[in-house]
Chain A
Amino acid sequence: MNRKKQSLNSIFIETVDVNKTAMFRLAYSIVLNKEDAEDVVSESILKAYSHLYELRNTKKMKAWLFQILVNESKTCLRKRKRIELVDDFSKFENRVSESDNGTSSDLLEYIYQLEDIYKEIIILYYFEQFHIREIAKILNLSEGTVKSRLFRARAELKKFLEENHWKG
């Protein structure tokens, strides 16, 4: 029998550790500000941790964590009451990661400029590879809404990639 001996605590810490870049990417896509995105991720981790025992199924921990992250990001936006301009990535100090492929880096920057309803879904679907059902839960939408938004988001992406000479 494959019984998990790992404690809830260590599963949580490992899940956050593995997903910390992804968490920043998603938070940033919503708040569009580096400092706020970092704060949101920290707050989400603390909030998730303080409610950890309410999570019924550790297999859903990542989705649960991302749902808290989306909610915290939106709370941050509401508190700020205004959306600041997108940070210029080039301003980031001590960059540790550089894209080795111009298209993929451009892709992320392009995604950040899409409407909120598209970029969240694109990141969750293509980058984090959540299922439609999980995305629906994370974003508190119906599966039908997720599918239709994904359909439109896909069309936007296709347009962008064709303009950038992507050969499908």
Chain B
Amino acid sequence: MNKFDKEIIKLAKKSKCPVSIEYYERIDSLLKNLKDKPVGVTKGQTPFSLFRACAAVCSLAAIIMISMPVCAKLGSYVKERMLQMSNEELESYMEASDQNNMTAAHNVEALTYSRELSEEELIRYNDLFEKYENEGLFPEHDLPVVEKIQDSTTTEYPLYETSSYKCYLPERTLTDEELLQMIDFVHKLDYATSQTAEAQEILNNQKEYEANPHPDENDLSEETAIAAASSYLEKILNKDCSSMEKSIEFWFGNGTSGEGYGEYLITFKAGDAESYLVSISRETGILTCVTFILNGKNYAAYQGTSAPADEQLFYSHYETAKAILTGLLDPDISIVESICEYRTDDSGYVENGYIYYIFTLSNGYIYSIGYNMEDDIYPRLYLIDTNGSYGALPDNIILPMEP
């Protein structure tokens, strides 16, 4: 910044923008209304679920599992279909994806549903998803898109509302064609997002790295990362991964706020219905995420059944969550603060049956461990901050825990 720049800044500071009193009154009134609303709720939207909030903050697993295969590894059928999109179509998907809002979660979060898919629908969805990618099974028509759901004359079939980034589903069981339309939409949305300048820059960096990987000498090697991931899984889940199929990828994009410049994603696969994902910062070796698919349930995305809130139960499970985390920590790092956080629905039940234990460590790192009440397991472990900064979500219930 030179002398001229400094002078302009001085002038800019002195400059008064002519704004009407009505404008200030309007904004003040708007802010006053927002103060009384739960975050994420405007214009009649349903509140965000706790998982959605957590996934948005630390959606690394979701990015890995859904975004990367589409963006970075398009199969030939899908690639051909994506390339067939006209510029106009591509542009409309870019708009629908809200790709400029500086979040990394929209690849998954863009398609939230007005209701959960039934178990039967979910099974068909997964089956069709695979056929879409591997066999080129595509829908006959596109998923209908409306700006506002009120613009549509019917709610008899799935509709995507661009103003809320939400897919409205009819109450009846969805047909294969409708599920395929949704799968197609997700792929196109993700592809369109990947074509933005920012995404291209990340992907180019990724390609550049893959063409000429030259990590710093202190960076973790792939072998060390796999060994560390195996060790973590053994400590957390008591799983012996030695006989599992292993794969490792490096994701240049920074998945977790503030933690290094890229992560190794290590997958251990025990079968179609069972696989584990561990991500580790290449730069620091820090564990950033553990999640898994078990009995066909992808716990990174699976929302459980709401369950009665039982504080005693939460206190008792806290000890297990704490033990999981302390088992991973260096001896010189301790837990300095911990809470149990959850959200209740209108019936007072724990929403989606998930509670989260949030641990602040002496080094400023904050980890979240999600407990699934339905299946009595801890399928989500995320590093959510490295600077000791965690704002509890408004309207969530917080139980302080003994660190």
A residues contacting B by CB (< 8 A) are 1-13, 16-17, 20-22, 24-25, 28, 34, 38, 41-42, 45-47, 49-58, 60, 63-64, 67-68, 71, 89, 92-101, 103-105, 107-108, 126-127, 129, 137, 140-142, 154, 157-158, 161, 166, 168
Contact = CB atoms under 8 A, between A and B. Distances in A.
Given A9-B34, A53-B40, 10 more contacts: A2-B389, A7-B392, A16-B27, A38-B22, A42-B26, A50-B42, A51-B98, A52-B40, A55-B56, A168-B7
A13 B39 CA distance: 11
Nearest to A78: B95
A53 B388 contact: no
Contacts of A93: 20, 22
A125 to B, nearest CB: 8
B257 A56 contact: yes
B31 A16 contact: yes
Nearest to B392: A7
B14 to A, nearest CB: 4
A57 B390 CA distance: 10
Contact of A71 (B5, B100, B109, B258): B100
A165 B14 CA distance: 17
B336 interface: yes
Interface string B340-382: 0000000000000000000010001000000000000000000
Nearest to A103: B11
Contacts of B388: 1-3
Nearest to B11: A104
A67 B31 contact: no
Interface string B100-143: 11111110010000000000000000000000000000000000
Interface residues of B, number: 65
A167 to B, nearest CB: 9
A92 B16 CA distance: 13
Contact of B391 (A11, A16, A140): A11
Interface stretch (B45-53, B302-310, B315-323): B45-53
A104 to B, nearest CB: 4
B102 A108 contact: no
B356 to A, nearest CB: 14
Given A6-B391, A126-B8, A49 B42 contact: yes
Contacts of B18: 89, 92, 95, 97-98
B313 interface: no
Contact of A94 (B14, B22, B43): B22
B65 interface: no
A16 B33 CA distance: 13
B377 to A, nearest CB: 24
Interface in B8-48: 8-9, 11-12, 14-24, 26-28, 30-31, 34-35, 37, 39-43, 45, 48
Given A98-B16, A127-B15, A154-B5, A45 B391 contact: no
B211 interface: no
A100 B360 contact: no
10 contacts: A8-B39, A13-B31, A16-B27, A53-B57, A54-B101, A57-B258, A101-B15, A107-B11, A108-B15, A126-B5
A25 B53 CA distance: 32
A52 B47 CA distance: 12
Interface string B198-239: 100100000000000000000000000000000000000000
B41 A24 contact: no
A140 B336 contact: no
B386 to A, nearest CB: 11
B394 A54 contact: no
A4 B12 contact: no
Contacts of A38: 22-23, 26
A154 B337 CA distance: 50
Given A8-B39, A50-B43, A58 B389 contact: yes
Contact of B27 (A42, A101, A168): A42
A88 B46 CA distance: 42
Contacts of B8: 107, 126, 157, 161
A56 B390 CA distance: 11
A127 B5 CA distance: 11
Given A51-B103, A55-B103, A126 B389 contact: no
A41 B37 CA distance: 19
A126 B52 contact: no
Given A99-B14, A129-B9, A67 B100 contact: yes
B397 to A, nearest CB: 14
Contacts of A60: 102
